[in-house]
Amino acid sequence: MTESDSHAYDVVVLGAGPVGENVADRTRAAGLSTAVVESELVGGECSYWACMPSKALLRPVIAQADARRLPGLSDSVRGPLGTPAVLARRDYFTSDWKDDGQVRWIEGIGADVHRGHGRLAGPRAVEVTAPDGTRRTLTARHAVAVCTGTRAQLPDLPGLADVRPWTSREATSAKAAPGRLVVVGGGVVATEMATAWQALGSRVTLLVRGKGLLGRMEPFAGELVAEGLKEAGAEVRTGTTVTSVTRRDGTVTVTTDTGEHLEADEILFATGRVPHTEDIGLDTVGLEPGSWLSVDDSLRVTGTDWLYAVGDVNHRALLTHQGKYQARIAGAAIAARAQGVPILEPDPWGAHAATADHFAVPQVVFADPEAAAVGLSLAEAERAGHRVRAVDVEFSSVAGAGLYGEGYRGRARMVVDLDDRILRGVTFVGPGVGELIHSATIAVAGQVPIERLWHAVPSYPTLSEIWLRLLESNRDT
């Protein structure tokens, strides 16, 4: 590059989490010069405060729970987990919150890393304020991709900032288990962190405003996970709203809508996410700061021909794997348009359209038992106007479940479209089902006919035999 265009690129990526990294990887593979801007750690939320540390905390918890169900092994694992060792392993998976390796990876694909706070400064321009206060403007010949993700949403409670509550970041990076932990929320973060810290030595109370856990899944998923938490020693209270929180002399006092007062050492609010777009210059391109960004299936922001919003920030599916999927689509679309290749619309199965976000999003909740789902729940399918029925089977009907451990409890449901003869959704709950959900994802995403699924023969004796039981039950219905 010459001195005059030293800060001009084909593509500028705002945010260096897994989504931004994947956009950069695809645009660089297509030969486009690419800059990546990051204000925190390269690798983003997933690497340091979400997916990796949370699953590193949970894996020993789940492994111990599985072992306790096996005669000959159960007596050996009755003691408490070695919390310091679990936390040390968590630190290893976060690289001790250092991003040198991730920086080397981005530089290894030929992209430039610009550290600092990035803000849009008009069309195809990003102003970066470095940690030392210096500023530079990066211009993009073809595209700017906003991959800034989300941040934790805290409720509007007076004095909450003085309480110094945990969010998902503090919950995944804490250096010790609090003696008493109140968790507010009933979704994935609340459920997983309650599972982890209860096993690591905390006395956990889970306060859920709604009727149950995991409200976006089938009702039985939340019911079985709640049972597992209670058996592990956690207290689960549904239909409970927090009205005030105070901290005095290190003790947190939580007041609920019934007037009850609970005391804890820490309180975690897992009450939703908001887009991390409040200070990235959206107003300079006619968009509302702090808003979710609406996109088409190529991840291009509505009303623009150069701005892309990829991952959580577009609110299509707030999951790392879906964000990386979108990133691959966005990178391919940016490269195609840069090269003058026409993108066919609509092209639901093409390389430039992220369609899985509409009907085939998989998710796993790493609790005990695990809950995994893809596609639509029964209620969602009915609301969407599909003529469907639910087929339910207990995992106790499968030989592999018995081998997995004594007292295996779990349930499976497939939502069958009676007109199209395909699956609209599948839900599994039980130990080990997280590794089973991809088979369901293929069935839903591929719109495999029910009759064809009979010829996908599950191995005996494995948990995957649940497919045979579901198909048999569907035939008998």
Residue 2: per-residue pLDDT: 34
Distance in angstroms (rounded) separating the CA atoms of residues 230 and 195: 10
Ranking 66-80, 101-115, 254-268 by mean pLDDT, the lowest is 66-80
Residue 406: per-residue pLDDT: 86
Residue 274 buriedness (CB in 10 A; 0-12 / 13-18 / 19+): middle
Q: In the predicted model, what is the mean pLDDT of residues 85-104?
A: 98
160-271: CATH, from 2.30.42.10, 3.40.50.2300, 3.40.50.720, 3.50.50.60: 3.50.50.60
Residue 79: per-residue pLDDT: 87
Residue 3 has pLDDT above 60, yes or no: no
Residue 88 has pLDDT above 90, yes or no: yes
In contact, 118 and 130? CB cutoff 8 Å: no
Residue 51: per-residue pLDDT: 97
Residues whose CB is less than 8 angstroms from the CB of residue 241 and which lie 6 or more positions away in sequence, other chains included: 209, 256, 257
Q: What percent of the chain has pLDDT over 90?
A: 94
The helix (run of H) or strand (run of E) holding residue 162 is helix 160-163
Distance in angstroms (rounded) separating the CA atoms of residues 374 and 363: 6
Q: In the predicted model, what is the mean pLDDT of residues 211-237?
A: 97
Second-level CATH architecture of 369-476: 2-Layer Sandwich (3.30)
Residue 203: per-residue pLDDT: 98
Residue 86 has pLDDT above 50, yes or no: yes
Residue 1: per-residue pLDDT: 34
Taking the domains of the chain in order of start, what are their residue ranges? 8-43+99-151+275-356, 160-271, 369-476
Of residues 93, 100, 13, 102, the one with CA closest to residue 51? 93
- Model pLDDT for residues 288-326, shown as the tens digit of each residue: 999 999 999 999 999 999 999 999 999 999 999 999 999
Q: What is the DSSP letter of 14?
A: E
Residue 6 has pLDDT above 90, yes or no: no
Two tokens, residue 165? 């509550």
Q: What is the DSSP letter of 59?
A: H
Q: In the predicted model, what is the mean pLDDT of residues 9-16?
A: 98
Q: In the predicted model, what is the mean pLDDT of residues 116-143?
A: 97
Of residues 269, 24, 327, the one with CA closest to residue 151? 269
Residue 331 has pLDDT above 60, yes or no: yes
Residue 342: per-residue pLDDT: 86
Distance in angstroms (rounded) separating the CA atoms of residues 11 and 33: 6
Residue 344: per-residue pLDDT: 76
Cis before 369? omega within 30? yes
Distance in angstroms (rounded) separating the CA atoms of residues 356 and 445: 7
Residue 268: per-residue pLDDT: 98
The mean pLDDT of the chain is 96
Residue 4: per-residue pLDDT: 34
Residue 340: per-residue pLDDT: 93
Which has more pLDDT, 79 or 416?
416
Same fold? 8-43+99-151+275-356, 369-476: no
- Model pLDDT for residues 131-172, shown as the tens digit of each residue: 999 999 999 999 999 999 999 999 999 889 999 999 999 999
Q: Which long-range contacts (CB under 8 A, 24 or more apart) does 406-409 make?
A: 406/69, 406/70, 406/71, 407/69, 408/69, 409/224, 409/227, 409/369
Residue 466 has pLDDT above 50, yes or no: yes
User: Beta-strand (E) ranges in 147-290?
Assistant: 150-152, 180-184, 203-207, 235-237, 242-248, 251-256, 261-264, 266-269, 273-275
Fold type of domain 8-43+99-151+275-356: FAD/NAD(P)-binding domain (3.50.50)
- Model pLDDT for residues 422-436, shown as the tens digit of each residue: 999 999 999 999 999
Residue 349: per-residue pLDDT: 76
Residues whose CB is less than 8 angstroms from the CB of residue 281 and which lie 6 or more positions away in sequence, other chains included: 119, 120, 121, 126, 127
Residue 348 has pLDDT above 90, yes or no: no
DSSP 94-149: TGGG--HHHHHHHHHTT-EEEESEEEE-STTEEEEE-TTS-EEEEEEEEEEEE---
Residue 56: per-residue pLDDT: 98
Of residues 361, 377, 394, 430, the one with CA closest to residue 219? 377
Residue 407 has pLDDT above 80, yes or no: yes
- Find the length of the chain: 477
Distance in angstroms (rounded) separating the CA atoms of residues 451 and 160: 56
In contact, 205 and 235? CB cutoff 8 Å: yes
Residue 350 has pLDDT above 90, yes or no: no
